[in-house]
A and B are shown apart, each in its own frame.
Chain A
Amino acid sequence: KAGVTQTPRYLIKTRGQQVTLSCSPISGHRSVSWYQQTPGQGLQFLFEYFSETQRNKGNFPGRFSGRQFSNSRSEMNVSTLELGDSALYLCASSRTGPSTDTQYFGPGTRLTVL
């Protein structure tokens, strides 16, 4: 069974630009959660999507947004990039959601903002 895939694996952007990251969950998984990982803050929850609806949201500014498609694939968008947005962005999928099922993480997208 294929795992969670994320594209691209690496991205370099400049301040002020916007970026879109993609996540394909494990087949049959309908929940996708996004996390930001930095050395200083660790892993922080961004948001969770289930059946194309945002079901839960962390404490991040509105520049961070996401969506989920009917095939459960999800995208995350960050607008007006700041230097502090440099991080490893991870997505995790589960069948029914993190409250009722184990989450499996993808390899992440390493975003560098210059």
Chain B
Amino acid sequence: EDQVTQSPEALRLQEGESSSLNCSYTVSGLRGLFWYRQDPGKGPEFLFTLYSAGEEKEKERLKATLTKKESFLHITAPKPEDSATYLCAVQPSNDYKLSFGAGTTVTVRA
């Protein structure tokens, strides 16, 4: 069974204090790994898709990387508007559905 574990559960940062979120996964053949951002009361917002180990993608202050067993979401010099829950999901190569992790809730204080 596919498993996705995100750590830490919660992260409190000072504005400008860079940090990383971890997503470790177990899947029988990875089609893709997805990162989403979710604000309270809203649906997840797509950030990145990573397909193979070694791949990296960047968007503003966010950078996602992928290895064979885990993915990292690096937040560089975060701002209060980066506060959200970040969700990781994996899609196996033999299935359509995504399996989501529980998420990491990031709070950035000014």
Within 8 A of A (CB), among B52-110: 87, 89, 91, 95-103
Within 8 A of B (CB), among A48-77: 48, 55-56, 58
A107 touches B43 (CB 8 A): yes
Q: How many Å lie between the Cα of A97 and that of B32 in the bound state?
A: 13
Interface of A is mostly: strand
Specify which of A42, A48, A108 lies most central, judged by the most chain B CB atoms within 10 Å of its CB: A42
B42 touches A107 (CB 8 A): yes
A106 to chain B, nearest CB (A): 5
Size category of the binding interface on chain A:
20 to 34
B101 to chain A, nearest CB (A): 7
Q: Can you sample 26 A-B contacts with CB below 8 Å? A: A42-B102, A43-B44, A43-B87, A43-B89, A45-B97, A48-B97, A56-B96, A56-B97, A58-B97, A90-B43, A90-B44, A92-B43, A98-B96, A98-B97, A99-B31, A102-B46, A102-B49, A103-B46, A103-B98, A105-B36, A105-B43, A105-B44, A107-B42, A107-B43, A108-B41, A108-B43
